[in-house]
Chains A and B, each alone.
Chain A
Amino acid sequence: MKTLLTIYTLWQRELVRFYRQPSRVVGALASPLLFWVLIGSGIGTSFQGHMVNRSMNYLEFFFPGTLLMILLFTAIFSTISIIEDRREGFLQSVLVAPVPRSSIVFGKVLGGATLACSQAVLFLIAVPFLGLHINLWQFLAMTVVLMISAITLTSLGFIIAWKMNSIQGFHAIMNLFLMPLWMLSGALFPPEGASGWLRWMMKLNPLTYELTILRRILYGNNLLSLQLPSMKLSVTVMMIFGAIVFSLATYVVSVRDSKNLV
């Protein structure tokens, strides 16, 4: 009961803080659309027909990548809230509460993931107007995958943010680590076009597999010219990676030392 209450209360707080900041709401809704249209059309018309088969244009190719980007950005913003919580002091009263550390992590992560996932889903709803078509089954399957990926990415951000005390430092890590993770997931270009070492990095990148699942659900067999990992492998990687990252987040929170401070 206590665990559920903790998760609920931290999750709910995350949502309340989000909609009390109108600029965050507007930014979250408008920026992915802008990204997709600008990058998608820009790159698409410049490098036409180069990378993908004829049945898929670049806007379509880039669409799952945009979904992943929405998740990544929102997850990053919500993990910045960990640093804010620490600086504003709210975190210290959470840390001394008689609740399991995993419920603290889960509450925070679930809050961030819910925000990230609902933005991605909103973007998904806009799809028919943008000339793409998905059915209900695809929509539901994508929502589940998006939620799992969102939890994973938020946990990842959480681990990084936990030891940080400045938002500037977090931005540096974000540009050096999280952005490349996204770029090398196959979001912008398929692995076939990349050089050997890059292809290997893409293969080792867990996000590649999350993106693959999204791609496979969206486009089914319309991917013949793309060499993607199998669905089975992708789902396995997604689940294992998610579990590892979440456990690690719980671990860093449960360590009581002089750095756990405000």
Chain B
Amino acid sequence: MVVQIKNLHFAYAGRQALRGVSFDAAPGNILGLLGPNGSGKTTLFRILSTLMLPADGTVTICGFDVAREVVKVREKIGIVFQSPSLDPKLNVQENIQHQGHLYGLYGSELQKRSEELMKRLGVLDRKKEIVSKLSGGLKRRVELAKGLLHRPTVLILDEPSTGLDPGARIDLWNYLKQLRDQENITILVTTHLMEEAEHCNALVIMNHGQVVGSGTPESLKSEISGGVVILKAAHNSEIASSQKTLLAITNPSVIASPAAVILSEAKNLGINSAKQSQSDALEALHESIQKKFQVKGLILEGELQIEHAEGPKLMAKILETFPGQIESVTFRRPTLEDVFIHKTGHRFWNEKL
């Protein structure tokens, strides 16, 4: 194993950022560290890149301990930071030259290697340009050239596609795959983007400072057997059927009144209450389904998502049992996002919001 992490802990002034993280990275892989903001993946990145020391546990890279053999580790790793690490006042070539000197390269050897990398990354014709004038995509290429200059065994990238347009992202990932396949470089990438996670051959999902799942994207997806049924509740029919909703949108004293009166009242309450009644309808539907079929779903953005081994069958049964209460129903194969919801119980971006 190129990278071995065992029972890693780290805390910032009392706040636990990593609580017992363990995993390995096999050589010649692209390993994605997937997790929402605050999951601890950036802390992990900083420890792997030797900026911070582990509080407890061990991390070894190519057999060297990051705490005790830091110079050896630093020789083996190439790092591409999320925030730029280029000197904006210098040109492309000067930036790469300084990097080379820091890694013990100089003279004609450095010259050759830097020309080679600039050519491969398509920035050779821009080598005399001052970095602050380059586009985000070109800057990232120069960063990559810097990280690869000393032929590292492990390349570590922190959210590498931040600030890149779709074209530049595709370029980046194609290049990373080339590196993996042709030069057998082990690549560690932190990301919070599912589409990026799909490019990796191994994934480690983190949440609240712990590893909550790992495997290939396929194996993780297959952990969710069947698929996901997505339901939208019908808005009107629900009012007649669920007394619970009425309580939420109207005065308790009008419970006995005819539905038509309540409807007009509900309209007067405006759009907000309409939305409210819709989400109440969904919750009521969720409750009924739970009672009837003993399955639990999740309500996300006005949709009820139910993960089920026999999704299509469940879908048919629900439609049969609750006709008129359902606006729409969809079934889909599990995605990485579903895996994430499954592992952490919340939608990916919830933590940030």
Q: Do A and B come from one complex?
A: yes
Residue B163 is within 8 A (CB to CB) of chain A in the complex: no
Chain A 82-95 near chain B by CB (<8 Å), digits 1 or 0: 00010011101111
Instruction: Find the B residue at minimum CB distance from A20.
Output: B89
Given contacts A96-B74, A260-B51, contact A1 B104 (CB under 8 A): yes
B residues in contact with A176, CB < 8 Å: none
Instruction: Find the A residue at minimum CB distance from B132.
Output: A88
Residue B86 is within 8 A (CB to CB) of chain A in the complex: yes
Given contacts A6-B102, A8-B101, A258-B12, contact A96 B83 (CB under 8 A): no
Return B131 CB to nearest CB of chain A, in Å.
10
CB pair A93 B51 closer than 8 Å: no
Residue in contact with B87 in the complex, picked from A13, A97, A260, CB distance below 8 Å: A13
Given contacts A16-B94, A88-B84, A89-B83, contact A256 B74 (CB under 8 A): no
CB pair B52 A256 closer than 8 Å: yes
CB pair A256 B89 closer than 8 Å: no
CB pair B103 A97 closer than 8 Å: yes
Chain B 78-121 near chain A by CB (<8 Å), digits 1 or 0: 01010111111110001001110111101000000000000000
Chain A 1-17 near chain B by CB (<8 Å), digits 1 or 0: 11001101110010011
In B235-253, the 8 Å CB interface with A consists of none
Instruction: Find the B residue at minimum CB distance from A17.
Output: B89
Residue A144 is within 8 A (CB to CB) of chain B in the complex: no
CB pair A92 B51 closer than 8 Å: yes
CB pair B79 A93 closer than 8 Å: yes
Given contacts A257-B52, A261-B46, contact A90 B85 (CB under 8 A): yes
| A261→B89 CA distance, assembly (Å) | 21
CB pair B81 A92 closer than 8 Å: yes
CB pair A13 B90 closer than 8 Å: yes
CB pair A98 B51 closer than 8 Å: no
Residue B53 is within 8 A (CB to CB) of chain A in the complex: yes
Residue A99 is within 8 A (CB to CB) of chain B in the complex: yes
| A16→B90 CA distance, assembly (Å) | 8
Return B103 CB to nearest CB of chain A, in Å.
6
Given contacts A1-B104, A90-B86, contact A97 B74 (CB under 8 A): yes
CB pair B83 A262 closer than 8 Å: yes
B residues in contact with A9, CB < 8 Å: 97-98, 101-102
In B48-75, the 8 Å CB interface with A consists of 49-53, 71-72, 74-75
Residue in contact with B102 in the complex, picked from A1, A16, A97, CB distance below 8 Å: A97
User: How many A-B pairs fall under 8 Å by CB?
Assistant: 84
CB pair B89 A92 closer than 8 Å: no
- Assign chain A's interface to a size class: 20 to 34
CB pair A256 B53 closer than 8 Å: yes
Residue in contact with B51 in the complex, picked from A2, A21, A96, CB distance below 8 Å: A96
| A9→B102 CA distance, assembly (Å) | 8
A residues in contact with B9, CB < 8 Å: none
CB pair B99 A93 closer than 8 Å: yes
- Assign chain B's interface to a size class: 20 to 34
Given contacts A89-B85, A92-B85, A98-B75, contact A256 B50 (CB under 8 A): yes
CB pair A95 B51 closer than 8 Å: yes
Given contacts A93-B146, A256-B53, A261-B46, contact A98 B87 (CB under 8 A): no
| A258→B81 CA distance, assembly (Å) | 16
| A17→B102 CA distance, assembly (Å) | 18
Return B208 CB to nearest CB of chain A, in Å.
18
Return B212 CB to nearest CB of chain A, in Å.
24
| A13→B102 CA distance, assembly (Å) | 12
Return B153 CB to nearest CB of chain A, in Å.
13
Return B198 CB to nearest CB of chain A, in Å.
29
**B12, B50, B102, B103: residue with the most chain A Cβ atoms closer than 10 Å:** B102
In A234-262, the 8 Å CB interface with B consists of 256-258, 260-262
| A128→B77 CA distance, assembly (Å) | 56
Instruction: Find the B residue at minimum CB distance from A104.
Output: B102
Instruction: Find the A residue at minimum CB distance from B17.
Output: A258
Residue in contact with A99 in the complex, picked from B87, B97, B102, CB distance below 8 Å: B102
CB pair A257 B81 closer than 8 Å: no
CB pair A94 B51 closer than 8 Å: no
In A13-33, the 8 Å CB interface with B consists of 13, 16-17, 20-21
B residues in contact with A90, CB < 8 Å: 85-87
In A59-113, the 8 Å CB interface with B consists of 85, 88-90, 92-99
| A153→B345 CA distance, assembly (Å) | 56
CB pair A260 B99 closer than 8 Å: no
Chain B 36-48 near chain A by CB (<8 Å), digits 1 or 0: 0000000000100
In B1-51, the 8 Å CB interface with A consists of 12, 46, 49-51
Return A14 CB to nearest CB of chain B, in Å.
11
| A187→B52 CA distance, assembly (Å) | 43
A residues in contact with B71, CB < 8 Å: 98
| A256→B71 CA distance, assembly (Å) | 13
CB pair B81 A5 closer than 8 Å: no
Listed A/B pairs (5) with beta-carbon separation below 8 Å: A6-B102, A13-B90, A97-B103, A98-B75, A257-B52
Interface residues of A (CB under 8 A from B): 1-2, 5-6, 8-10, 13, 16-17, 20-21, 85, 88-90, 92-99, 256-258, 260-262
- 17 more contacts with CB within 8 A, not counting A13-B90, A90-B87, A96-B49, are A5-B102, A9-B98, A17-B89, A17-B90, A88-B86, A89-B83, A90-B86, A93-B81, A93-B85, A93-B99, A93-B102, A97-B103, A98-B71, A98-B72, A98-B74, A258-B12, A260-B52
The 9 tightest CB contacts between A and B, nearest first, are A98-B74, A9-B101, A97-B102, A93-B85, A89-B85, A5-B101, A98-B75, A2-B104, A89-B84
